Amino acid sequence: MTARRTTSQRHEVPPGDGLPPTAWAVLGLLSFPGERTGYELKKWADASLRFFYWSPAISQIYAELRRLEARGYATSRRSGPEEPRAKRSYAITEQGRAALAGWAGGTEDAGPPVLKHPLLLRVWLGHLTAPDQLRALVAEHIAQTEGDLKEARDALARAAGTEAWSHPHIALRWSVRRLESEVDLARAMLADLEEADPPAAETTPSSEPGPAGAGQPAEDSPTPG
């Protein structure tokens, strides 16, 4: 409900582009010099874009490449007999570059960032789970995020050699910091959970004993937090 106008009445398709975000991402990969196969694009996306954008199914990359070509935003070329493998390599066209630059420059709103965090949903539903089990889930998430963080750092280190690609580099730095923050956030939440529901232990003989009204709040209460 955050504004986001519905383009007015009578289904007039956005005259210009109307491409899904994934198409722009694929075209973006092609915007760097050189030509590439769908397979290569997939590997590349998994190594960089995945940290802040997405990691698409390979079948969809092929589909987007065909669409991009149909629009004149990319051209493709079958490998000749000199190359060992039969494959199809794509390159961006002038038209494609212009359209992409328009998208990247922000003439049409690219939409807000989307975050879908199942762990948080589980925490939100913490009343259904045993406290230590919930904390274990958070701890597991921390471990997993630390793994991602390591991978992002490796990617950043790899990219450090290849200079002149400053913008991908900046995006990766953002990703590393973001993952660091994700770990911090999870740790802070763990602390909150412990405070709200101290682990069964002999070292906390203060405050309320426990089973007062923690179970079910008054019936018919309106939408909480």
Q: Which residues contact 115 (CB under 8 A, 6 or more apart)?
A: none
Least Å distance, CB 15 to a second copy, is 21
Separation between Cα atoms, residue 183 and residue 141, nearest integer Å:
8
Does residue 152 contact residue 175 with C-beta atoms inside 8 Å? yes
* Closer of 192 and 202 to a second copy (Cβ): 192
Count CB neighbours of 66 within 10 A.
15
Answer with the entry of DNA, a second copy, none that 81 interacts with (C-beta below 5 to 8 A by kind).
none
What does residue 178 show for φ and ψ, rounded to 5 degrees? -65, -40
Separation between Cα atoms, residue 191 and residue 198, nearest integer Å:
10
147 lies in the site for a second copy, by CB under 8 A: yes
Answer with the entry of DNA, a second copy, none that 6 interacts with (C-beta below 5 to 8 A by kind).
DNA
Answer with the entry of a second copy, DNA, none that 87 interacts with (C-beta below 5 to 8 A by kind).
DNA
Q: Which residues contact 185 (CB under 8 A, 6 or more apart)?
A: none
Interface characters, 61-100, with DNA (x: CB under 7 A)? -xx-xx-----------------xxxxxx-----------
Least Å distance, CB 156 to DNA, is 22
14 lies in the site for a second copy, by CB under 8 A: no
39 lies in the site for a second copy, by CB under 8 A: no
Options 15, 33, 80, 209; binder of a second copy; rule CB under 8 A: 33
- Helices marked H in 56-105: 58-70, 94-105
Q: Which residues contact 23 (CB under 8 A, 6 or more apart)?
A: 64, 67, 68
Separation between Cα atoms, residue 35 and residue 167, nearest integer Å:
20
Answer with the entry of DNA, a second copy, none that 57 interacts with (C-beta below 5 to 8 A by kind).
DNA
21 lies in the site for DNA, by CB under 7 A: yes
9 lies in the site for a second copy, by CB under 8 A: no
Does residue 54 contact residue 22 with C-beta atoms inside 8 Å? yes
| Interface of this chain with DNA, residues 26 to 65, rule: CB under 7 A | 37-40, 43, 54-60, 62-63, 65
Options 74, 96, 149, 175; binder of a second copy; rule CB under 8 A: 175
- The residue length of the chain stands at 225
166 lies in the site for DNA, by CB under 7 A: no
Give contact residues for DNA (rule: CB under 7 A). 6-7, 9-11, 18, 20-23, 37-40, 43, 54-60, 62-63, 65-66, 84-89
